[in-house]
């Protein structure tokens, strides 16, 4: 990226001054190394988002930002419905409520060794993964609507988990305001057999261990210990979310002129929050959030079954579950005034600081667990939210490493079989139905996640708690 159009305001923050139709500045959180490695589209897209009606404070990009559809992936923007604020399907993303759930086990690294191959095979057998993968559930029309309305609460009521799970899930496992009746028949049909599946792309289930602890107080609150085995599940709303995004982006693009919205990029198609179209999208999107929460809950149940077969009584429990492709109504203080805003986070994780009433009691003193995924052969991270993040970026942080090259470019450079063999030599077992999918998600196709985490800490968006390293990877 050419940084001549940016003003550096700190070691990990860069400002794009408002020009042309920009209503607010753009802010990119990154070190100089990361900012130079970003593609030019990040500046362009961050600036374009700053032109949308009703935007508040700034258009933000996280340290893992890269080119996306309309919004940059890693983009954060808040809109005020009382000032003509909009909602954008492109600002949420196609995989609505894609997120990470981390599970804790009572197992230590030394206990896994002799059973590692057996555990990898058990998980690969239990967890459906890959393009078009089908789950163990086939939902009737009524059950599908109940799932879209109830989220993880629906899954628990059907025997997929425990009531205690819900206390450790964002929104307590159910997003209010979902309207399943607004979700198209085609979107519903795509989900009838997909609840409890990982899907493809960058989705995964990883068995990991705690390699290092950086914040002993937060680690104690999160019940993390060195060498402890944990499990991270990264997936979203599957075909249903993608279908909702596709349908509403088309409708929003066609309706923009009737709402007198001048789009700097057709991919930024949006609608006023207080419009029939905006309200319909909100109802459908919230149903997709519940779909993702239910999906991760069923996957948790399947994971527990696999673990309990190999390690009887282990029964992993939830540390936390947080999404990173959403738009939510939240309260934030802006210039000393408490306002209700709709915060888009696309490839960005909510990062609530200590004292937030939305957090479980045991996390109140240290902040929200912020779960950051790695890329098969690299670190994943558990961070903690900060009070500073509230003021700096509407309580938001990064969500992963961020791609450094396209999937097509990755398949030209790497072969899946070679990657699987190389990772096995480093003690990481990969199970995937698609070697091409493995090549697309090669660790080298992503930015340095550890550098992204350092920048996130420098920008005070979240602070380091624990570094996780992979042992087993189940991928689509």
Q: Which residues are catalytic?
A: 399
The distance from CA 421 to its chain's CA centroid, rounded to whole angstroms, is 28
CA atoms within 13 A on the CB side of 23: 19
CA distances in angstroms from 310 to 115, 132, 198, 314, listed in the order given: 8, 28, 21, 9
């Amino acid at each position: 990226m050419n940084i001549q159009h940016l003003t550096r305001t700190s070691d990990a923050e860069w400002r794009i001054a408002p020009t042309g139709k920009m209503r607010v500045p753009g802010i990119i959180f990154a070190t100089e190394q990361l900012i130079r490695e970003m593609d030019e589209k990040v500046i362009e897209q961050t600036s374009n988002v700053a032109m949308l009606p009703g935007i508040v404070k700034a258009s933000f990009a996280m340290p893992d930002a890269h080119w996306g559809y309309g919004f940059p992936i890693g983009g954060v923007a808040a809109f005020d419905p009382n000032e003509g604020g909009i909602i954008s399907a492109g600002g949420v993303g196609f995989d609505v409520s894609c997120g990470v759930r981390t599970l804790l086990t009572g197992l230590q690294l030394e206990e896994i060794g002799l059973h590692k191959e057996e555990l990898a095979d058990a998980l690969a057998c239990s967890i459906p993964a890959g393009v078009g993968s089908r789950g163990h559930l086939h939902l009737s029309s009524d059950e599908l609507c109940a799932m879209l309305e109830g989220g993880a609460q629906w899954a628990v009521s059907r025997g997929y988990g425990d009531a205690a799970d819900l206390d450790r899930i964002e929104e307590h496992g159910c997003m209010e305001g979902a309207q399943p009746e607004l979700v198209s028949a085609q979107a519903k049909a795509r989900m009838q057999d997909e609840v409890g599946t990982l899907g493809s792309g960058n989705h995964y289930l990883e068995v990991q261990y705690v390699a290092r602890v950086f914040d002993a107080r937060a680690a104690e609150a999160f019940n993390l210990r060195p060498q402890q085995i944990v499990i991270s599940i990264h997936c979203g709303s599957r075909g249903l979310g993608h279908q909702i995004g596709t349908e509403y982006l088309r409708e929003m693009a066609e309706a923009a002129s009737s709402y007198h919205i001048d789009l700097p990029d057709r991919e930024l198609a949006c609608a006023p929050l207080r419009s029939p179209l905006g309200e319909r999208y909100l109802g459908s999107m919230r149903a997709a959030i519940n779909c993702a929460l239910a999906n991760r809950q069923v996957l948790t149940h399947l994971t527990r079954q696999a673990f309990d077969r190999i390690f009887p009584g282990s029964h992993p429990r939830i540390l936390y579950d947080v999404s990173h492709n959403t738009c939510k109504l939240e309260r934030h203080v802006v210039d000393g005034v408490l306002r209700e805003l709709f915060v888009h986070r696309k490839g960005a994780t909510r990062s609530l600081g200590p004292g937030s009433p939305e957090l479980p009691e045991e996390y109140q003193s240290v902040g929200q667990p912020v779960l950051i995924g790695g890329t098969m052969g690299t670190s994943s991270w558990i961070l903690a939210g900060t009070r500073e993040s509230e003021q700096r970026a509407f309580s938001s942080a990064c969500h992963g490493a961020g791609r450094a090259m396209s999937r097509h470019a990755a398949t030209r450079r790497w072969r899946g079989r070679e990657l699987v063999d190389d990772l096995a030599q480093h003690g990481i077992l990969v199970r995937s139905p698609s070697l091409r999918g493995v090549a697309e998600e090669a660790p080298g196709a992503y930015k340095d996640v550890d550098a992204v985490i350092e920048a996130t800490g420098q920008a005070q968006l979240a602070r380091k708690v624990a570094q996780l390293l992979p042992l087993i990877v189940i991928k689509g």
